[in-house]
Amino acid sequence: MRGLVRLRAEHQEWKSTACRALEPRLEGVARQYEHRVLVYRVDIDRNLAVAERFGVKSIPTILVVRGGREVARLDGLITDRDLTAAFDRVAG
């Protein structure tokens, strides 16, 4: 599925240092995939059902989902190269 890049926040503060460090890099890489990948940021404290559905156990975690199924998972120390490779899997 192709679409617009949307870094959609729920106006939450990033809670962990790792999440705050990831934010500008995620936004930068996501802009490179404009019109090809949808990107959403989910506050798992407010959306526990999403975290449970995908088995998110730590933050930050990046899930790449296509057709409702996980095709890539990134967690821990996430590099720009990791993000690019994961987005390439769904960008087509």
**pLDDT at position 4 over 80:** no
* CB environment 51-69: b (16+ within 10 A), e (fewer): beeeebeebbbbbbeeeee
58 phi, psi to nearest 5 deg: -145, 160
Predicted pLDDT of residue 46? 83
Give me the domains of the chain, ranges plus CATH numbers. 17-91 (3.40.30.10)
Confidence of residue 13 (pLDDT cuts 50, 70, 90): low
Alpha carbon 79 to its chain centroid, in Å, reads 12
Is the full-model pTM beyond 0.85? no
pLDDT tens digits for 29-48?
999 998 888 888 888 888 88
